[in-house]
Structure 1
Amino acid sequence: MSKKIKDENGNVYVKKKPFYKRIWFWILAIIVIFAIGGAIGGGSGSDTSSTSESKSNSNDKTISQNAEFRKKFDAIVVGDLMSHGDGGTTLSDVEKSLGKPSTTSTQDVQGVQVKDYIWDKGGVSISVQFNDDKTVSKDITGFKFSRTPKFDLDAYNNLADGSSYDDVVSKYGEPDGLNEMIISGEKNVTATWITGTKGGTIALTFINDSLTSKTQSGLK
């Protein structure tokens, strides 16, 4: 809410409430914590299989399962948090697609109830947040795409502010991790790519399909 202030000369100014004091900011913070906390439990693989043939069969099966898991994640529609998720996929429809969740939790923030449901499969974790049983945020971690060309340090350095999400994906492939939410009509996407032999990472943030920030770790 804005506040009117009058100075000694009788001039009136409107002072807007800082974003970090607004209710939606703290709701967003709680949802992000939910998503990150729920995704930490993803497993990692081991290279100690007895034969290369059994390893290959197991990997093919895991890739197939994870690809289907990813398609189901991509099909989930996120609604606007400030409109109680209107337009978002319902909890019942998400459960029809993904089955019963591995973990559930509920948090009440400033009178707004947010449910966090987590599904795990083959080292991949999907976390979906609901308000009024409609999706307000979704997050996936642990998915590993094989991508060409390589998303290396040169490519990262050449990413310009304002680049679109679709343009980045068309050049470097789908991200391994993704968080999406909508707040007051503003779409926020944070995408992470695992790239390189040393496990380098690139994290990009897009607001309304426009690149606003980027970070990298371990790229060469």
Structure 2
Amino acid sequence: MSKKIKDENGNVYVQKKPFYKKVWFWLLVVIVVICAGGALGGGDGSKSSDSSSAASSKKSNDADKTISENAEFRKKFDAIKVGDLMNHGDGGDALADVEKSLGKPSTTSTTNDQGVKVKDYIWTKGNVSINVQFNDDKVVSKDIDGFKFARKTKMNLDGFNGIADGATYSDIVAKFGEPDGLDEMLVSGEKTVTAIWLTGTKGGTVTLQFTNDALTSKTQSGLKN
């Protein structure tokens, strides 16, 4: 609203309200502030999104790398040949060959197995551990634990109950996939394999024992249909 002012000579002047006191000016200021805040907020959101995406990508790449390394570790374990404990490891791989494949062991120790002095060598990669026993620097047993296969087929209670005594190791593997844990040894010509499957059911495990490739015992824990 304008204001009239009269001077000492009786002249009348109209004093207009300064522009910064007018309503349209402050409306314009509010609009500018809102737009600027939105632009800044959008920029922060973009940076946050980019950072989250990069972290997720790195995590995924690290997981893929671990899976690949563990799979290679498992292949090297499977390739190790076991010799006869009672014949000084005859037919088993030499220590030098195993070290060439797996590298230097993480830990070593010496024990007696069925009256025979053996050396235990352990290799680890992440949560996976390979334990190989040697007699006269020849492999006489091997086992792996901490490994977990990604498999589609999950062994349930019905599947477990359907496993017949005398079933071969290869038949079980063909039906349910490779075991996650495996222990193999050869004594006086008798091969014993203890295999463990993590079934995908929370806490569910299946343990099968084979003698000369025929199932001799089976146990399960936590299986459901």
Same fold flag (TM > 0.5): yes
- The aligned counterpart of 2:102 is 98
Aligned residue among 44, 49, 63 for 1:59 = 63
Distance in 1 between residues matched to 2:130 and 2:110, nearest whole Å: 16
* 2:107 equivalent to 1:77: no
Contact 2:166 2:215 survives alignment (8 Å): yes
* 2:161 equivalent to 1:157: yes
- The aligned counterpart of 2:180 is 176
- The aligned counterpart of 1:214 is 218
TM value normalised by structure 1: 0.75
Q: Kindly state the Cα deviation for residue 53 of structure 1 after the two structures are TM-superposed.
A: 2.5
2:89 partner letter: G
Contact 1:152 1:196 survives alignment (8 Å): no
Structure (1 or 2) with the greater helix fraction: 2
Gaps of 5+ in 1: 1-49
Contact 2:204 2:220 survives alignment (8 Å): yes
Contact 2:184 2:192 survives alignment (8 Å): yes
Contact 2:112 2:118 survives alignment (8 Å): yes
SS at match of 1:151: coil
Aligned residue among 121, 136, 151 for 1:147 = 151
Q: Kindly state the Cα deviation for residue 110 of structure 1 after the two structures are TM-superposed.
A: 7.3
Structure with more relative contact order (C-alpha pairs < 8 Å, separation 6 or more): 1
Q: Kindly state the Cα deviation for residue 108 of structure 1 after the two structures are TM-superposed.
A: 4.3
Q: Percent identity?
A: 73
Larger Rg, first or second structure (1 or 2) = 2
Gaps of 5+ in 2: 1-53
2:221 partner letter: S
SS at match of 2:105: coil
TM value normalised by structure 2: 0.73
- Give deviations 1:115-155, integer Å, cap 9, x for gaps: 00000002100000000000000000011111122111111
- The aligned counterpart of 1:127 is 131
Distance in 1 between residues matched to 2:127 and 2:82, nearest whole Å: 23
Runs of 4+ that moved beyond 6 A: none
Q: Flag the 1:155–1:108 CA change in 2: closer, same or farther, 3 A.
A: closer
Alignment length (residue pairs): 171
- Give deviations 1:53-78, integer Å, cap 9, x for gaps: 23221110011000110111011000
Distance in 2 between residues matched to 1:155 and 1:110, nearest whole Å: 35
- The aligned counterpart of 2:47 is none
Distance in 1 between residues matched to 2:186 and 2:112, nearest whole Å: 19
Contact 1:102 1:119 survives alignment (8 Å): yes
Contact 2:154 2:200 survives alignment (8 Å): yes
- The aligned counterpart of 2:40 is none
- Give deviations 1:4-34, integer Å, cap 9, x for gaps: xxxxxxxxxxxxxxxxxxxxxxxxxxxxxxx
Aligned residue among 163, 186, 190 for 1:186 = 190
Aligned residue among 69, 89, 93 for 1:89 = 93
Distance in 2 between residues matched to 1:106 and 1:218, nearest whole Å: 36
Contact 2:83 2:89 survives alignment (8 Å): yes
- The aligned counterpart of 1:199 is 203
